[in-house]
């Protein structure tokens, strides 16, 4: 899938554009996206400073070198990225070669020597397009930190390169008077390009709003900003969600602590509380990860929206956590065993461990609650946490399952659980049917896929019942024993093809070809056959229950 290029732009400097982009890049990488951050603010570069503590290797080249290599006749894109040592895949292309927290001494001279208009007359646009194609093939998101104002460099970043724009501004008229007009100019410049790019989708981000001290003034400016940038929401905001609602979610507050130096609060604040700056930065990153979509969910449940973005590309360690009160621990263990036999990665939930509430990520994609009469206090906390962090509007990405003991009244469950589909089970009865139902939902197994399995299991059942109490030789006994043990292993691994083949082998081995009783089937083999037969019968019955 082709990646997305997003330019972070601001009309004025000092609005927190680079800060917002650097932290967004770290979040997207942590959430499993492959990210490239490019410092195209060539006259006032500084993106590398945010990542400097996490750079095992300093950049040896950068954006200015892309221009100079073209002037030197190079037409094949070269490597200019360095890896940023944070969670996930995050690479940086700096403005140029850097040393100890500063650019190389020759940078200013080399940057000022570039005549961008002349470069484009020579065909630089095609060279840049080759880079763009390489980047979007390698990364999910390419984030470009653009030059401020109106300039040749800003035009490259806002017209040719991006699929979308993030416009960062502060609450003053200097920013507001130009922010919408600049986007219009970028669209017009884009129309003149020989590349097929649609009209920009623009994410307006109100930055550095001090709403802690001057609350009323901040509230007034936030409403004013929403009114001014309303046209920017026109081609992507879902109907029913107002620009004012979105502006509240897309406001990065002013926190004095983070105003000193070039820092990454998203590294320090894990997980962030709602009054911390990383909370707002997570929301901005989530809108980007969700490709400016599903804003109705953001308006309704911000935590669920961010969690959905966080888990969209995630590989979970487990398919399912099973949460149960102490009285149902044995049933939960049996359910986990049956699920494992069906290829579902499941484990007990540690819902009684207070440490679970501090986890920044979830080990399993889905959660299953075993309920006997009422939810335990810990189960309720865990279910609320899961629903807050994980559920989308249709529950499609992650599912919460409720398994109720016979006699448990669904109407007595907490309100947010009453609308879920519930299944019943009997404590003391091995939960084979319930395990298969969960497997079919989790693995999205169509009903038709279970029919061949049922036929194999019925054939296995018939073959096991045909094993006689006596066999004609010790050699035959050894072959039957080996075949039965192989069938048990195949069932454990869910290998139905192997199970079918071994069943075909067992049938002729069970037949007597000569008169006389030579060997009595030992008790151990009879126990293995009985145990395997019981497991097969449970699975056959699960198809017809």
Half-sphere exposure of 281 (CA within 13 A, CB side): 30
What CATH number is associated with residue 405? 3.40.50.10140
What does pTM read for this prediction?
A: 0.65
Cis peptide before 271 (omega within 30 of 0): yes
Listed in sequence order, the residues at least 6 apart from 363 whose beta carbon sits closer than 8 Å to its beta carbon are: 316, 317, 318, 321, 347
How far is the C-alpha of 287 from the C-alpha of 246, rounded, in Å?
Answer: 10
Interhelix angle 124-138/63-71, nearest 10 degrees: 140
At residue 269, the pLDDT reads 93
At residue 446, the pLDDT reads 46
How far is the C-alpha of 147 from the C-alpha of 13, rounded, in Å?
Answer: 9
Listed in sequence order, the residues at least 6 apart from 233 whose beta carbon sits closer than 8 Å to its beta carbon are: 204, 243, 246
How far is the C-alpha of 425 from the C-alpha of 34, rounded, in Å?
Answer: 43
> Average pLDDT of each block of 10 consecutive residues along the chain (545 residues)?
88 91 96 94 91 92 91 84 94 90 86 89 89 92 85 71 92 86 81 76 94 86 94 90 94 93 93 92 96 89 87 75 89 90 87 52 84 86 75 57 88 78 82 88 58 72 85 86 88 78 82 66 87 77 52
Note whether 429 and 464 are same-domain residues. Answer: no
The count of structural domains within the chain is 3
How far is the C-alpha of 357 from the C-alpha of 25, rounded, in Å?
Answer: 26
Note whether 433 and 511 are same-domain residues. Answer: no
Backbone angles phi, psi at 138, to 5 degrees: -95, -25
At residue 258, the pLDDT reads 93
Could you say which of 265, 283, 310 is where a domain stops?
Answer: 310
Note whether 52 and 154 are same-domain residues. Answer: yes
Could you tell me which of 130, 131, 225, 127 has the C-alpha nearest to residue 180?
225
Note whether 277 and 151 are same-domain residues. Answer: yes
What CATH number is associated with residue 159? 3.40.50.300
Note whether 436 and 509 are same-domain residues. Answer: no
SS (H, E, C) 402-446: EEEECCCCHHHCCHHHHCCCEEEECCCCCCHHHHHHHHHHHCCCC
Note whether 195 and 56 are same-domain residues. Answer: yes
Alpha-carbon dihedral 207, 309, 236, 133, rounded to 10 degrees? 90
Note whether 243 and 285 are same-domain residues. Answer: yes
Note whether 72 and 33 are same-domain residues. Answer: yes
Asked whether 509 and 483 are in contact (CB, 8 A), the reply is yes
Note whether 302 and 371 are same-domain residues. Answer: no
Note whether 113 and 259 are same-domain residues. Answer: yes
At residue 40, the pLDDT reads 92
Residue 355 is classified by DSSP as G
Q: Decide: helix, strand or coil at residue 78.
A: coil
Per-residue CA distances from 78 to 40, 70, 164, 264, 504 (Å): 17, 11, 25, 29, 60
Which value, in Å, is the radius of gyration of the alpha carbons in the chain? Answer: 31
Handedness of CA 489, 492, 497, 501 (dihedral sign): positive
How far is the C-alpha of 450 from the C-alpha of 440, rounded, in Å?
Answer: 9
Note whether 204 and 277 are same-domain residues. Answer: yes
Asked whether 459 and 496 are in contact (CB, 8 A), the reply is no
Could you say which of 275, 290, 310 is where a domain stops?
Answer: 310
Structural domain that includes position 222 = 4-310
Could you say which of 425, 443, 461 is where a domain stops?
Answer: 443
Could you tell me which of 392, 389, 396 has the C-alpha nearest to residue 357?
389
Residue 98 is classified by DSSP as B
Note whether 82 and 8 are same-domain residues. Answer: yes
In sequence order, which ranges of 192-301 are alpha helices (DSSP H)? 215-228, 243-249, 265-268, 277-289, 295-300
In sequence order, which ranges of 424-544 are alpha helices (DSSP H)? 432-442, 450-465, 474-493, 496-509, 523-544
Q: How many helices (H) and strands (E) does the chain have?
A: 22, 15
């Amino acid at each position: 899938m082709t990646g997305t290029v997003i330019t972070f732009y601001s009309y004025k400097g000092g609005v927190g554009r680079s800060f917002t982009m650097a932290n967004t890049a770290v979040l997207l990488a942590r959430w499993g996206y492959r990210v490239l951050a490019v410092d195209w603010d060539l006259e006032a570069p500084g993106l590398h400073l945010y990542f400097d503590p996490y750079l095992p290797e300093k950049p040896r080249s950068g954006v200015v070198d892309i221009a100079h290599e073209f002037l030197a006749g190079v037409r094949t894109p070269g490597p200019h990225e360095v890896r940023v040592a944070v969670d996930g895949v995050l690479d940086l292309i700096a403005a140029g070669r850097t040393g100890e927290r500063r650019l190389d001494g020759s940078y200013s001279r080399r940057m000022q020597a570039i005549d961008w208009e002349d470069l484009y007359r020579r065909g630089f646009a095609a060279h840049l397009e080759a880079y763009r194609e390489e980047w979007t093939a390698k990364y999910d998101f390419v984030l470009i930190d653009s030059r401020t104002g109106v300039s040749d460099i800003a035009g490259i970043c806002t017209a040719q390169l991006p699929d979308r724009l993030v416009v960062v501004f502060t609450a003053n008229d200097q920013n507001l008077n130009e922010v919408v007009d600049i986007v219009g100019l970028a669209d017009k410049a884009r129309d003149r390009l020989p590349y097929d790019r649609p009209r920009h989708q623009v994410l307006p981000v109100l930055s550095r709003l001090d709403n802690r001290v001057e609350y009323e003034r901040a509230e007034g400016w936030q409403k004013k900003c929403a009114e001014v940038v309303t046209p920017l929401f026109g081609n992507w905001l879902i109907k029913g969600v107002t620009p004012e609602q979105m502006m509240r979610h897309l406001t990065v507050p002013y926190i004095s602590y983070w105003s000193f130096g070039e820092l990454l609060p998203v590294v320090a604040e894990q997980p962030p509380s709602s009054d911390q700056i990383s909370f707002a930065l997570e929301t901005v990153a989530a809108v980007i990860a969700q490709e400016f979509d599903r804003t109705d969910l953001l308006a309704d449940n911000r935590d669920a929206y961010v969690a959905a973005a966080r888990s969209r590309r995630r590989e979970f360690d487990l398919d399912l956590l099973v949460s149960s009160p102490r009285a149902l621990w044995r049933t939960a263990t049996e359910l986990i065993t049956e699920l494992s036999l069906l290829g579902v990665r499941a484990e007990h939930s540690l819902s009684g461990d207070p440490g679970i509430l501090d986890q920044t990520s979830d080990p399993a994609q889905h959660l299953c609650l075993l309920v006997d009469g009422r939810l335990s206090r810990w189960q309720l906390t865990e279910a609320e946490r899961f629903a807050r962090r994980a559920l989308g509007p249709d529950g499609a990405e992650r599912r919460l399952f409720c398994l109720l003991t016979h006699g448990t009244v669904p109407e007595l469950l907490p309100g947010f659980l009453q609308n879920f589909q519930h299944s019943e089970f009997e404590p003391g009865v091995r939960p084979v049917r319930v395990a298969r139902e969960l497997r079919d939902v989790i693995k999205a197994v169509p009903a038709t896929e279970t029919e061949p399995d049922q036929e194999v299991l019925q054939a296995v059942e018939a073959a096991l019942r045909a094993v006689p109490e006596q066999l004609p030789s010790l050699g035959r006994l050894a072959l039957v024993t080996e075949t039965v043990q192989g069938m048990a292993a195949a069932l454990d691994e869910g290998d139905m093809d192997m199970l079918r083949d071994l069943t075909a082998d067992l049938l002729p081995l069970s037949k007597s070809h000569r008169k006389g009783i030579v060997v009595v089937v030992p008790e151990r083999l009879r126990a293995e056959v009985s145990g395997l037969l019981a497991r097969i019968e449970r699975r056959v019955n699960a198809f017809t229950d």
